[in-house]
Structure 1
């Protein structure tokens, strides 16, 4: 792994906040008779400014930030013996020389992202090769990180469809129940033959050779009929195994099947359950096999979904490693109008402090989702973060589809995320011209206020599908429903664009500059 640069963190800034009020000398450990009046004044104004600008900085998820892949935990898991590289503007001769000298061989490429997946054909470690590549002037080099589905097993004891009731879906269905919109489930595979899912499959018409609207053996002609680079991809693609069939087995693909049911189990068909959408085109894009999947495969899956028309993607997976390859894929989705809904993770941690990707990528199309239970409490396993997690949705005891025509309950932010993806699709059906950022803002502002979530997610509440649709279709009830998160010690609202930062900056200029010629030092007690 790469060593991490040392920088001032927002946790460090919290030290300054503790010095804002109630006796600065004592709380900062300074002697009461040490500082003269002018020095105390200048330090106080500097402290307040640091509080405003370092701790919160007036930046929220509503404002995109530059993404730095070097700030990452050292325990991230990655594929051994592989690196992902963008060679940038290097010449072919230089690239060939680098590959030869470092014993690297190209396995695959994603031309859209200009990234290559390379195997290390020597005894050198991934860390050594990444550093060597960076020394040779490549645009970026990184490990091929592994992502895991965000699922928590649980005994099935909960009310089966309480999640849809919680988000006000019945009132939403009075406006729209579904339609011709493509939602990509980027995950493990999904059982596209399930009786409650088959009717809502996305079908790649150019690969449906017999034009019967289903995937069958007659469609497997071994030809890339639509010229998109993938042979026989009728209902999606399996990047984990490089096959056109995005389903391997019930054991391998129950996660993606369960997620699919919450988004779009066929409604009003007299069997099983219904998803958020009665009618939808679910594109199955598998990159997870077994316990996880690599960033290269995930990036391929995202690009595939974008290029084949998905307006929304559900991403119930993640990990701690920050990847430029994955970040660029999410940006590609943003630039092409895809709402990227992502589970916040199940580590019980604050994502503002310990990032969980892809949910933590600071792009305007990302909607990060925490999980709540039947009592509107933050699920005990759920990650949170008032700056980096946007909304919450039910994720405990969620009843949905299992492979082979079965049904069952699962826990996880994996189960919360598809509720939000489904509602995002409803909003786009109501108004196809909405941008991903507008969809996210509507979901945040129209959430039901939940006191337990006041300092946990940016919405300070749980999504409300009916109110979100009312906002889109009538222009009413669009104002923020929940109060902003509770102010911190310095009276600043975490995660919100706040005029306090500007105020303290002006205060510093007014009070500090008149003393600018005086040295900022403390008298020494002898």
Structure 2
């Protein structure tokens, strides 16, 4: 993905804008337009695209790819015979075992034959003419939910600084997503289903129970696949880690996704606990992470379930392993079917442009990669960042939300930032039900609040703002009437005769002359 950046502009005390622009021979300025409050939306263009949490028992961050020691994922080329094949090691022919198919990506999961390693098996398959790709079944983990100092016994809305920041936690007032203002426009839509691909969810939590998705085509407990979707008694989703219909296993902890769920869709105005961003929504538990992490093959199947059973989009606060073509293909196919894939950028504190973090780092139009910010609108010290690989920031430090056993806890991590974006994504779809993934992604990114801490660290340079994204701004800004081209005094460059020039103009309003435009669209041609 690429980003056109208006680098180097500043606003001085006289409300004037100046900007340095590169030149090559001659530069012709074609268009200069002030953006609306949330900026222009470009059809067909995407601005771009990081183990954390759940319990302290989970590794903080997978630095080296891990994978299952006995499984490989193989996809055959179109038209090639699906021959499981006889692998012929030196000691004789030994057949691999087909564990199951991965229908979303039309691939197979095989068990490595005795005496063979994963590496040997992958190498053999990659050498076969009919194979498109073969790879290990990588292990991934929840993005670290870093426990914070307090676990409130009496949850209060005032503690949710990410939704409404008055400086109550020592931060900066209004360093938040403006949720109350957004709720004046919409509080969601109970027909919108969010697939939570993660650990399990405590679906009986009093702040979640009424917003948990119910598969109306299934009769609970009768041992029959009533709706014919391939899963027996999947009343509330599926556990791909244990391969059963229990989407919450206390022995596994399952606090990570329970916390994520509360931020997205915790019940509102019920005099209990916290308030989710989307008051009206259905949360679909898709567990694939257990005490030892989870596998890519199970993540692919979880995404397939979300696509096949009506989820509008998925939220993904997990990562690790290596680059997986299987996972890439699955996310791309989900995008082709209209699903966004919201993903935590990671908690490595590293530049993902240099040190990629998956799945957030896949260069796909339907992936939204999310960094974490704190109550002072600074990027969290642990947050993964990347000018071309991380899209925007959202509150992710000391986030209070639901945890198992009717409790509430405060966690930090990009895992906590991601459900903020997912909750707002629900609000966007509630306001514009037929919006495309590209349009929604662009709107989320350009409508945020510009932060110096995210400038050069993310594609948009902005932190999520729920009110801005829902504001259907129909009043155009006033035109720029005094655009001037001058020499760059700092470098004494002659306008149109060197390598740079300085543009100046008086900043216009947002609505005509009222308000302040948040960004400008500069278009030029080199001729």
- The TM-score range, normalised by the shorter chain, is 0.7 to 0.9
* Alpha-carbon spacing, 1:387–1:91, altered in 2? closer, same or farther (3 Å): closer
The question of whether the paired residues in 2 share the 8 Å contact of 1:320 and 1:357 is answered with yes
Q: What does residue 46 of structure 2 align with?
A: 62
The one-character-per-residue Cα deviations of 1:459-518 (angstroms, maximum 9, x if unpaired) are: 2121100000004xx446999xxxxxxxxxx98xxxxx9989x85xx8xxxxxxxxxxxx
Q: Please give the secondary structure, in 2, of the residue aligned with 1:276.
A: coil
**Gaps (5+ residues) in structure 2?**
3-23, 25-43, 50-61, 152-157, 165-175, 479-498, 501-520
The question of whether the paired residues in 1 share the 8 Å contact of 2:86 and 2:95 is answered with no
Q: What does residue 186 of structure 1 align with?
A: 197
Q: Please give the secondary structure, in 1, of the residue aligned with 2:194.
A: strand
Higher helix share: 1
The question of whether the paired residues in 2 share the 8 Å contact of 1:182 and 1:283 is answered with yes
TM-score of the superposed pair, with normalisation by structure 1: 0.74
Q: What does residue 147 of structure 1 align with?
A: 140
Higher strand share: 2
Q: Please give the secondary structure, in 2, of the residue aligned with 1:196.
A: coil
**Is 1:164 aligned to 2:163, yes or no?**
yes
The question of whether the paired residues in 1 share the 8 Å contact of 2:47 and 2:442 is answered with no
**Is 1:115 aligned to 2:114, yes or no?**
no
The one-character-per-residue Cα deviations of 1:124-157 (angstroms, maximum 9, x if unpaired) are: 2211211110111211100111111112423334
The question of whether the paired residues in 2 share the 8 Å contact of 1:340 and 1:365 is answered with yes
The one-character-per-residue Cα deviations of 1:307-337 (angstroms, maximum 9, x if unpaired) are: 1111121100011511011111101210111
* Alpha-carbon spacing, 1:435–1:499, altered in 2? closer, same or farther (3 Å): same
**Is 1:406 aligned to 2:407, yes or no?**
yes
The one-character-per-residue Cα deviations of 1:35-83 (angstroms, maximum 9, x if unpaired) are: xxxxxxxxxx9xxxxxxxxxxxxxx992789xxxxxxx99311111211
The question of whether the paired residues in 1 share the 8 Å contact of 2:446 and 2:462 is answered with no
Q: What does residue 32 of structure 1 align with?
A: none
Q: What does residue 516 of structure 2 align with?
A: none
The question of whether the paired residues in 2 share the 8 Å contact of 1:224 and 1:231 is answered with yes
Q: What does residue 332 of structure 1 align with?
A: 333
Q: Please give the secondary structure, in 2, of the residue aligned with 1:296.
A: helix
Partners of 1:349 and 1:478 in 2: how far apart? 39
**Is 1:197 aligned to 2:183, yes or no?**
no
Q: Please give the secondary structure, in 2, of the residue aligned with 1:163.
A: coil
The question of whether the paired residues in 1 share the 8 Å contact of 2:84 and 2:98 is answered with no
TM-score of the superposed pair, with normalisation by structure 2: 0.74
Partners of 1:390 and 1:477 in 2: how far apart? 26
Q: What does residue 135 of structure 1 align with?
A: 127
Q: Which moved more, 1:85-94 or 1:326-335?
A: 85-94
The one-character-per-residue Cα deviations of 1:211-258 (angstroms, maximum 9, x if unpaired) are: xxxxxxxx1111010011111111100000100111111652000100
Q: Please give the secondary structure, in 2, of the residue aligned with 1:206.
A: coil
Partners of 2:427 and 2:367 in 1: how far apart? 17
- Output the aligned Cα RMSD: 2.9
Q: Which moved more, 1:155-164 or 1:280-289?
A: 155-164
* Cα displacement (A) at 1:433: 1.0
Q: What does residue 64 of structure 2 align with?
A: 75
The question of whether the paired residues in 2 share the 8 Å contact of 1:374 and 1:394 is answered with yes
